[in-house]
Amino acid sequence: MKHRQADENSEYTADQTHTPTDSLAWMDAELDELQARQQVRSLRETAVTAAGWLDVEGKRLLHLASNDYLGLSMAENDWPEPSPAARLLGSGASRLITGHYPAYARLEEEFAAFKQAEACLVFSSGYMANIGVISSLVGRNDEVFSDRYNHASIVDGMLLSRAKLHRYKHGDMNHLESLLKKANPNGKKLIVSDSIFSMDGTMVPLKELVELKHRYGAMLMIDEAHSSGLYGPEGAGLIHEMGLQDDIEIQMGTFSKAYGGYGAYITGSRRLIRYLTNHARSLIYTTALPPVVVEMNRYNVRRSRQEPWRRERLNELSGWFRHQLKGMGFDTGNSVCQIIPVMTGSNEKALQFSRELHQRGIAGVAIRPPTVPAGSARIRFTLTAVHERADLTWALEQMEEAGHACGLISSQTDRADHV
């Protein structure tokens, strides 16, 4: 096919030359600003080498930064031979086209029964579930009430909804009630909260939220990403531990943390699930998870229910580890679970402490703004059921040395008193 010659009167001719321009140059200034604030992030190649240990760019580190709380992602792969459909490594379509494989139906039916709910809907990730559900339930004339420490996916879901946003002080039910009192009586009201807050290890005052939801006629959505699999009968979640499953319309959680898989779920009434199937854009316009992943989730949920020792060991190790850190003089905030922050305050201190730990063989990741509020940088430690106490005891000794080197703890504590 011949190319058409541009005529001499045309605005552009074939021999016209252009001065190259760098259309992304503006990024340099923003990256430099992040660097000045000690907030630049980067990716590092990481491999799991054994239960509780990592290889990070050739260095062996004790893994204290994982969300695999029950150790199921590191468990021996002895699940039964999957069905022919479940061997598929890809899905090739949205669930509403041809991606709703039998594996999905089996998982959703079993998981709904486990959660004592009428129905369940699986999403491709926790982020996709939160943005899809929140933006489906409320719109321009409605209002959303969110804890200030909620996950970024909840915040993004609220922004996408275009509803009026209210962010109440962390765990402050008086502040929440004052906002609910002023809400538009003609619009829908949605209260959204994490159950366990991923950067602080604190728990939601769930009973008080339920009381306010009933008092002001609001919908209530609870994100159990960091509590599903860990609390309640057979790990059904914090909601079930407190016996409030019939009071919370929208229950969300993930398969990617305690269950050691990938994806997320919503459980609730058949009406809710039918509505979301028709309105949640992050479900409708997303390729389905591969059936092999869905089968893995199903198997891991079953295994977690049948192996209560994992929950018991995680709870015991977490309480002991937090007690040791406090005894050394570290500030662990208000943590009450497997997520244990060591507060450093400044970004510089967090990075310094992280480097000291890395040199001593521990993977402790610095968490900085905007993930956490300004001035509250920290190292976020997370334990798993497969950590060995001997390894954790060694890690505590390294942390104490690193803490003194960074000025995070001021006086030597007699280790014999608390180890």
Q: Grade residue 1 by pLDDT with cuts at 50, 70 and 90.
A: very low
> Which of 27, 49, 47, 31 lies closest to 39 in space, CA to CA?
31
**Environment class of residue 365 by beta-carbon count within 10 Å: exposed (0-12), middle (13-18) or buried (19+)?**
middle
Q: Grade residue 13 by pLDDT with cuts at 50, 70 and 90.
A: low
The per-residue pLDDT for 2 is 47
CA torsion through residues 153, 159, 164, 166, sign: positive
Spatial separation of the C-alpha atoms in residues 156 and 132, rounded to whole Å: 10
Say if residue 3's pLDDT is above 70: no
User: Structure tokens of 378?
Assistant: 């920290």
Higher pLDDT, 388 or 3: 388
**Pick from 94-98, 128-132, 331-335: least confident:** 94-98
Single-letter amino acid code for the residue at 202: T
The per-residue pLDDT for 418 is 47
Average pLDDT of the chain is 91
Say if residue 9's pLDDT is above 70: no
Query: Which residues make Cβ contacts (< 8 Å) with residue 174, sequence separation at least 6?
Result: none
Q: Grade residue 206 by pLDDT with cuts at 50, 70 and 90.
A: very high
The per-residue pLDDT for 202 is 97
Report DSSP letters for 157-191, one per residue.
Answer: HHHHHTPEEEEEPTT-HHHHHHHHHTS-TTS-EEE
The per-residue pLDDT for 416 is 42
> Which of 251, 260, 291, 274 lies closest to 130 in space, CA to CA?
251
The per-residue pLDDT for 334 is 96
The per-residue pLDDT for 289 is 95
**Angle between the N-to-C axes of helices 102-114 and 291-306, in degrees from 0 to 180, rounded to the nearest 10:** 30
Spatial separation of the C-alpha atoms in residues 67 and 254, rounded to whole Å: 11
Give per-residue pLDDT as tens, 143-162.
Answer: 999 999 999 999 999 999 99
Say if residue 183's pLDDT is above 90: yes
Give per-residue pLDDT as tens, 248-303.
Answer: 999 999 999 999 999 999 999 999 999 999 999 999 999 999 999 999 999 999 99
Q: Grade residue 52 by pLDDT with cuts at 50, 70 and 90.
A: confident
Say if residue 419's pLDDT is above 50: no
Model pTM score: 0.88
The per-residue pLDDT for 116 is 97
Higher pLDDT, 318 or 416: 318
**Are 189 and 220 contacting, i.e. CB atoms less than 8 angstroms apart?**
no
What phi-psi label fits residue 232: left (phi over 0), alpha (psi between -120 and 50 degrees) or beta? left
Q: Grade residue 74 by pLDDT with cuts at 50, 70 and 90.
A: confident
Mean pLDDT value across residues 80-105: 81
Higher pLDDT, 6 or 236: 236
Mean pLDDT value across residues 39-63: 83
